Structure 1
Amino acid sequence: VEGAELELLQRLHDSVYQQAREWYHRLNSRIQEQISRQYGIMPEKEDDIQ
């Protein structure tokens, strides 16, 4: 993916990542702990999405 498509993909990637983090932080701590135990901690956002 190159050019305008890459820019669009990067914006989409950033938006989805931010929404997921916000959703997670709105959960109560008990639910957050259960998710972390089951799936591990949320990884940092990757700069290179390709």
Structure 2
Amino acid sequence: MEHTLKLTDEQLGVVGAALAELPFKVAQPVMAVIQAQIDAQRAKPAKAPPR
């Protein structure tokens, strides 16, 4: 099952900081998935505003 979360940059920073407190082998896979989603989102062209 997959979930979609919408977070502000500040909220995402809090999640990243919390993950950094966990052991690397636990946090790294989660951080990798989050980073991949951020990279994919940034690669999408910006939508034109509605007219």
TM over 0.5: no
Could you say which structure has the higher helix fraction? 1
TM-score (norm 2): 0.43
TM-score (norm 1): 0.44
